[in-house]
């Protein structure tokens, strides 16, 4: 009964959430609601989540590194989990996923982008064509190798813009950087998406080079903000640096805002990455350029995503000690 009430509350908030003008920050969010759970025996290290734009209340998930290459499907309550094997690829370090489309075709984009020890010369994205019904295993539609223009980086966030470009967010104690995968790098491989231009920039190893867009100092951004850290407050600069490591990333359905999740925060930014230039962190103004969302923190949270309305957010975490991971929802009130 309690779960039913929470679900009804979620649907009511979705229906009544205000439609803000594009490019505005939501100034008041609801309290976090528990929408459901992910079973730890099926998704032990849930490291990414994205909502389908074609199938109502369907979520896609991935496991973190050390697991077989698989995609997982569930309802928004975490029910009816189905594991889909991904053929002809290996999983080095799956970290996040997003939805991208061209023409009438939708693709689930899996980011094999983790590199904790900065040892990888290239990273990969894998595109899986979305279907109403999946078999137990599917062939990946396309895998694309990528490399950074300025050395190796660890990354845990990937997000797509409605214009077709895909963005990565790196994870670092110093600067988190945003890189762009131009849409034609991936769309040129699909007949329905092809254009008259090709911007693939490959290096000698055959990797497509990412384009650097911006840097954000998440630790500096949080200066002066008292953030509860696992039941207390930051006791050291080291703890604050760990708490502000970027763990997930998403772009709003209209492209006008984006989210960054860290171990301690969810931050919404008021920039369109396709047209806006992000200024230095020191020049960013709270309330105008970004806003910290008040939410119930989860231990080792690593997944955040907008729902298709753009006015609701879901987030989850890795399972710990056999405890099922909750799926949480937050909704824009004004």
Write out pLDDT tens, residues 218-269: 999 988 564 444 444 444 556 566 889 999 999 999 999 999 999 999 999 9
4: part of which helix (H) or strand (E)? helix 2-16
CA distance 6 to 14: 12
* Structural domain range at position 92: 2-15+34-331
Q: What domain count does the chain have?
A: 1
Residue 26 lies in a domain: no
CA–CA distance from 233 to each of 9, 30, 220, 240, 295 (Å)? Answer: 32, 23, 17, 9, 16
**Cβ distance 30 to 333 under 8 Å?**
yes
Residue 128 lies in a domain: yes
Task: Convert 89-115 to b/e letters by CB count within 10 Å (16 or more is b).
Answer: eebbbbbbbbbbbbeebbbbbbbbbbb
Residue 22 lies in a domain: no
Task: Supply the pTM of this predicted model.
Answer: 0.87
What's the pLDDT score for residue 225? 61
Residue 63 lies in a domain: yes
Write out pLDDT tens, residues 169-193: 999 988 999 999 999 899 888 876 7
Residue 27 lies in a domain: no
CA distance 119 to 121: 7
126: part of which helix (H) or strand (E)? strand 123-129
Q: What is the CATH number of the domain that holds 286?
A: 2.120.10
Q: Where are the beta strands (DSSP E) in 5-93?
A: 33-38, 46-51, 58-63, 70-75, 82-87
């Amino acid at each position: 009964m309690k779960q039913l009430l929470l679900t009804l509350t979620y649907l009511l908030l979705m229906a009544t959430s205000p439609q803000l003008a594009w490019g505005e920050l939501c100034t008041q969010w609801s309290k976090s609601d528990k929408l459901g759970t992910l079973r730890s025996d099926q998704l032990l290290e849930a490291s990414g989540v994205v909502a389908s734009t074609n199938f109502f209340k369907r979520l896609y998930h991935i496991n973190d590194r050390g697991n077989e290459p698989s995609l997982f499907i569930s309802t928004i309550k975490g029910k009816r989990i189905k594991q889909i094997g991904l053929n002809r690829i290996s999983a080095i370090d799956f970290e996040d996923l997003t939805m991208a489309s061209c023409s009438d075709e939708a693709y689930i984009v899996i980011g094999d982008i983790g590199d904790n020890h900065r040892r990888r010369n290239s990273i990969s994205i894998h595109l899986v064509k979305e279907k109403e019904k999946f078999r137990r295993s599917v062939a990946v539609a396309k895998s694309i190798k990528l490399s950074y223009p300025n050395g190796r980086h660890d990354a845990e966030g990937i997000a797509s813009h409605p214009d077709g470009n895909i963005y990565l967010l790196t994870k670092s104690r110093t600067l988190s950087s945003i890189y762009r995968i131009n849409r034609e790098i991936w769309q040129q491989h699909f007949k329905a998406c092809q254009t008259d231009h090709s911007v693939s920039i490959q290096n000698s190893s055959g990797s497509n080079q990412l384009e650097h867009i911006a840097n954000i100092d998440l630790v500096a951004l949080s200066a002066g903000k008292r953030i509860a850290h696992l039941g207390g407050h930051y006791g050291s600069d080291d703890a604050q640096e760990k708490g502000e490591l970027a763990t997930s990333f998403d772009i709003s359905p209209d492209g006008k805002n984006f989210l960054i999740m860290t171990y301690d925060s969810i931050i919404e930014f008021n920039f369109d990455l396709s047209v806006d230039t992000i200024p230095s962190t020191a020049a960013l103004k709270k309330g105008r350029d970004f806003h910290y969302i008040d939410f119930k923190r989860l231990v080792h949270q690593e997944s955040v995503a907008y729902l298709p309305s753009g006015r609701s957010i879901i987030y989850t975490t890795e399972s710990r000690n056999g405890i099922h991971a909750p799926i949480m929802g937050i909704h824009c009130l004004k």
